[in-house]
Amino acid sequence: MRRRFLLRTAALDFAALVVGCLVASLLVFDRLLPWQARPGIWPLLGFLTIGLIVGSYLSARTWGAAVPRPSYGRALTIVGTSVALTAFLLVLTRAYFSRAFITTAAVSWLVLALAHRAVSRSRPWTESIVLVTEEKQFIDHMQLAPHAEVREVLDPGAEDRNERPPAGATVAVDLRAILSEQMAQFVASSNLAGYPVRSLANVYEEHTGRLPIVHLAEGWELQTPVQRAAVYAPVKRTLDILLVVLTAPLALVLSGLIWTAVRLDSPGPAVFKQQRVGRDGELFTLYKFRTMVDGADRDGARFAVTDDDRLTSVGRWLRRFRADELPQLWNVLHGDLSLVGPRPEQPEFVGAFNESIPFYAYRHLIRPGVTGWAQVNYGYADDEADTIEKLTYDLYYVKHMSLWLDLQVFGRSIWTVLSGFGAQ
């Protein structure tokens, strides 16, 4: 299903590019076929196609292990990547180009790309799944997943299964469960009959973006992917520094405005300092713009909630757009934080969670982040139950950390900052 979706989307995008070029030729050159009006336009058309291939490849890679979905933002990214790459290649080769043609083709292409995604979103595809498990949490999360259609839930210990799975269904088996002889025969028969038979843990990760904590045994399952990602770590650090340096002028201007607003809104320092737990459990000082009344933490650490009565007027707006986290760019330069990673927590909470939540310490295998996979999927946690939910996302990121997943988190974080939608 995943491969079919990606290939179909790429094919429709290519068709949209072709139609966009024909429309541009008709409007700009008064000819339907651009090469009839401008024989030297072939390199330009080739560059646009190469840009489409590169943009589609990058878009597909950023999905990582997750299930891909029709995304308007990705359509804009693919078209933008193609136009930018085309401009670079045109300068490099000095081939013929027409600004009017490129602009008209890009706009037409984007409109058509958004249109076919709108149709896909109105009739979203789903994967038909038969679950073989007793874990209620798995069942509930899979039933809520937008692209999973749970056709049946089978008891691993059942002795009376004789029917075949629904046509086209994937059989997802909980490998922690003890299968009865009848159920083991059902799974084996399904595999022999050509039905996809997969680990429920893998299917769960793809459809929910979470890591099934109950499937962890000793924690080495997370240490091994982190070791494999060691090659990416220095690249990630370099990108962190470059992005902070490039955005520094804008960040400094915004920080000056926010500093003034915080000081005028309520008494106390504009910048709030607090000890947090970083990679390998090391403590560091986190910097944020103050969003609460001065001295809000004098009674000890406590969770911040959505309508916290300690928030100031300016602080509510800063939290909505996550602008209070701008000073953390200094933490990124200093090496305490990465731009993307699990959010760092207060030492008091970490000590308690290490005792009460299995595998909580494994979120500290990597450098924490200004934003993260859990942050864009779940938001803030205000109790232990929410912390466990967020941990499933944090550990998913620890396992699948990559440039492609970071780009996906960046895209969703930027949308939250610009719109305020999804912030908690």
pLDDT tens, 5-21?
A: 888 899 999 999 999 99
Q: Say which DSSP state 304 is in.
A: -
223 in a domain, yes or no?
no
Handedness of CA 186, 189, 195, 201 (dihedral sign): positive
pLDDT of residue 242: 96
Residues 274 and 398 in one domain: yes
403 in a domain, yes or no?
yes
pLDDT tops 70 at residue 159: yes
Residues 85 and 52 in one domain: yes
Query: Which distant-in-sequence residues (6+ apart) come within 8 Å of 299 by Cβ?
Result: none
Residues 102 and 131 in one domain: no
214 in a domain, yes or no?
no
SS3 70: coil
SS3 217: coil
Residues 159 and 296 in one domain: no
Handedness of CA 68, 401, 369, 248 (dihedral sign): negative
Q: Which of 59, 67, 61 is nearest to 1 (CA)?
A: 67
At 123, is the pLDDT very low, low, confident or very high (cuts 50, 70, 90)? confident
pLDDT tops 90 at residue 96: yes
Tens of pLDDT along 305-356?
A: 666 778 899 998 998 888 999 999 999 999 999 999 999 999 999 999 999 9
pLDDT of residue 64: 67
424 in a domain, yes or no?
no
- Specify burial of residue 379 (Cβ count, 10 A radius: 0-12, 13-18, 19+): middle
Q: Please tell me the pTM assigned to this model.
A: 0.80
